[in-house]
Homo-oligomer: A and B are copies of this chain.
């Protein structure tokens, strides 16, 4: 591994922390280095807020100037204006690593390629060219560019974004012990539970099986993150439910009961929670699996039986747990 790959790896690891949480935007990470010193390791965190490069530049500014930024750094317009107000050459000795080509178009936020053009850093290292026409060619606006560092890993990171441009991206989430048991109450660490609630906050709909609703009587809210509870799609033939089940009593939430799956053709992010039954029902539609694996072996009888081929994409620690991201292959 050369240094370009090491810094791109850092950018990737940071971006994976916000994978899917940036919906409908892509997950992107950025690292800024000056004379062999790392000034910032940042990522895009939430749609509509400052992009990865911009957040990283603000942190780099703080390190280089020993001053604190007092405005909201997630406000992209303020951030761009501030960065453009700095003395010319402020970042001229910096190398900027970014997993995705800086955007050339102006949307909710100003164009990052045009910002970088004006800031004129020493070099910009880009993992993957932006495959979306109209967003691409940002690299052409920059003077010293290295393209394609850890390109395959950067493409994996971008996959959900490319899918939800066209149709529903379906993530099946599961919490299990290391020997594959899924029963026995809360299995996961606090950090894992918090992450699930972060996903619930941003998904288009949370999908769950009718049986689970009837038996577990869940609330399916975002209490750990204190966020807005997601809309719920109950996958069920029987349309009648006991309306005192907590999930029906949550404010500002719509609940749909359906036995159809044709709505998965709509661009969206569908988070599925369930066990073997839902896994089997949705097998042909699952894009990725996210497994929170706890450091326990258990004698609980509940496991899940299905034949499915995966490819591991990324692993991360969540307190004591490992969070394993994988893609379904060969279906």
- Whether, in the assembled complex, A180 has its beta carbon less than 8 Å from a beta carbon of chain B, the answer is yes
- Whether, in the assembled complex, A257 has its beta carbon less than 8 Å from a beta carbon of chain B, the answer is no
Given contacts A6-B10, A36-B36, A180-B179, contact A295 B312 (CB under 8 A): yes
Q: Which of these binds chain B: A76-84, A208-216, A298-306?
A: A298-306
Q: Looking across the interface, which residue of chain B has its beta carbon closest to that of A327?
A: B295
Bound-state CA distance A320–B1 (Å) is 20
Q: Establish whether residues B179 and A304, one from each chain, have CB atoms under 8 Å apart when the complex forms.
A: yes
Bound-state CA distance A322–B317 (Å) is 14
Q: Establish whether residues B320 and A295, one from each chain, have CB atoms under 8 Å apart when the complex forms.
A: no
Q: Establish whether residues A315 and B310, one from each chain, have CB atoms under 8 Å apart when the complex forms.
A: no
- Whether, in the assembled complex, A178 has its beta carbon less than 8 Å from a beta carbon of chain B, the answer is yes
- Whether, in the assembled complex, A181 has its beta carbon less than 8 Å from a beta carbon of chain B, the answer is yes
Interface extent on A, as a size class?
35 or more
Q: Looking across the interface, which residue of chain B has its beta carbon closest to that of A322?
A: B312
Bound-state CA distance A299–B307 (Å) is 6
Chain B residues with CB below 8 A from A65, complex form: none
Q: Looking across the interface, which residue of chain B has its beta carbon closest to that of A279?
A: B297
Chain B residues with CB below 8 A from A50, complex form: none
Q: Establish whether residues A41 and B1, one from each chain, have CB atoms under 8 Å apart when the complex forms.
A: yes
Q: Establish whether residues A295 and B317, one from each chain, have CB atoms under 8 Å apart when the complex forms.
A: no
Q: Establish whether residues A310 and B178, one from each chain, have CB atoms under 8 Å apart when the complex forms.
A: yes
Q: Establish whether residues A295 and B311, one from each chain, have CB atoms under 8 Å apart when the complex forms.
A: yes
Min CB distance A295 to B, Å, is: 4
- Whether, in the assembled complex, A296 has its beta carbon less than 8 Å from a beta carbon of chain B, the answer is yes
Q: Looking across the interface, which residue of chain B has its beta carbon closest to that of A299?
A: B305
Given contacts A2-B38, A299-B305, contact A324 B322 (CB under 8 A): yes
- Whether, in the assembled complex, A204 has its beta carbon less than 8 Å from a beta carbon of chain B, the answer is no
A: which residues have CB within 8 A of B?
1-3, 6, 10, 35-38, 41, 176-181, 279, 291, 295-299, 303-312, 315, 317, 320-322, 324, 326, 329
13 contacts between A and B (CB under 8 A): A2-B38, A3-B36, A176-B180, A177-B180, A178-B310, A179-B180, A179-B303, A179-B306, A295-B326, A295-B329, A303-B303, A311-B320, A312-B322
Sample of 19 further A-B pairs with CB below 8 A, known A178-B310, A297-B307, A312-B321: A3-B38, A6-B10, A6-B38, A35-B36, A176-B179, A176-B180, A177-B180, A178-B326, A180-B180, A180-B181, A295-B311, A295-B312, A295-B329, A296-B307, A297-B304, A297-B306, A298-B307, A303-B303, A312-B322
